[in-house]
A and B are shown apart, each in its own frame.
Chain A
Amino acid sequence: MEGRPADDSDLIARAQRGDSAAYEEIVHRYQQIAFRTAYVVTGSAADAEDAAQEGFVKAYRALDRFRAGAELRPWLLRIVANEARNRLRSAGRRQRLELRLTEGFRPGDAAPSPEAVAVASDERRRLLEMVNALSQEDRLVIASRYFLELSGEETAAALGIPEGTVKSRLSRALARLRAQVEEAPLA
Chain B
Amino acid sequence: MPDLEDQLTALAGAIEWPTTPRLRVSLPARRGGLGWGRPLAYAAAAAVLIVAVLLAYTPTRDAIAAWVNLHLTINRVQQVPTPSPRPSAALGERLGLGTRTTLNQAQARLAWQVGVPSMLGGPDEVYLQQPPTGFGPGHRSTRPGRRDLLPEDGGQ
Are A31 and B14 closer than 8 Å at their CB atoms?
no
Are B25 and A53 closer than 8 Å at their CB atoms?
yes
Are B4 and A31 closer than 8 Å at their CB atoms?
no
Are A102 and B26 closer than 8 Å at their CB atoms?
no
Chain B, 1-23, CB within 8 A of any chain A CB: 1-18, 20-23
Interface residues on B, range: 20 to 34
B34: shortest Cβ distance to chain A, in Å? 5
Are B34 and A17 closer than 8 Å at their CB atoms?
yes
A146→B11 CA distance, assembly (Å)? 8
Which chain B positions have C-beta within 8 A of A31? 20, 22-23
Which residue on B lies nearest to A182, using beta carbons? B4
A102→B16 CA distance, assembly (Å)? 5
Q: Is the interface of A mostly helix, strand, loop or mixed?
A: helix
Is residue B155 contacting chain A, with contact meaning CB distance below 8 A? no
Chain A, 49-64, CB within 8 A of any chain B CB: 49, 52-53, 56-57, 60-61, 63-64
A174→B3 CA distance, assembly (Å)? 11
- Would you give the 0/1 interface string for A112-130, flagging 1 where the beta carbon is closer than 8 Å to chain B? 0101101100011001100
Q: Is the interface of B mostly helix, strand, loop or mixed?
A: loop
Highest count of chain A CB atoms <10 Å: which of B3, B6, B34: B6
Which chain B positions have C-beta within 8 A of A116? 9-10, 13
Which chain B positions have C-beta within 8 A of A52? 23
Are A100 and B15 closer than 8 Å at their CB atoms?
yes
Contact A111/B25 with A18-B33, A63-B32, A181-B4 known, Cβ cut-off 8 Å: no
Is residue B27 contacting chain A, with contact meaning CB distance below 8 A? yes
Which chain B positions have C-beta within 8 A of A118? 2, 10
Choose, from A19-27, A67-75, A87-95, A161-169, the stretch at the interface.
A19-27
A128→B23 CA distance, assembly (Å)? 29
A20→B33 CA distance, assembly (Å)? 10
B51: shortest Cβ distance to chain A, in Å? 30
Which residue on A lies nearest to B17, using beta carbons? A36
A171: shortest Cβ distance to chain B, in Å? 11
Contact A105/B14 with A18-B33, A185-B1 known, Cβ cut-off 8 Å: yes
A163→B100 CA distance, assembly (Å)? 98
Which residue on A lies nearest to B32, using beta carbons? A64
- Would you give the 0/1 interface string for B29-52, flagging 1 where the beta carbon is closer than 8 Å to chain A? 010111100000000000000000
Give the residue of B2, B22, B30 whose beta carbon is less than 8 angstroms from that of A63.
Answer: B30
Q: Can you show 18 pairs from A to B with CB atoms below 8 A apart?
A: A16-B32, A18-B35, A31-B20, A35-B20, A60-B28, A100-B16, A107-B10, A115-B3, A115-B7, A127-B7, A127-B8, A127-B11, A128-B14, A131-B8, A146-B9, A147-B11, A147-B12, A149-B12
Q: B: which residues have CB within 8 A of A? A: 1-18, 20-28, 30, 32-35
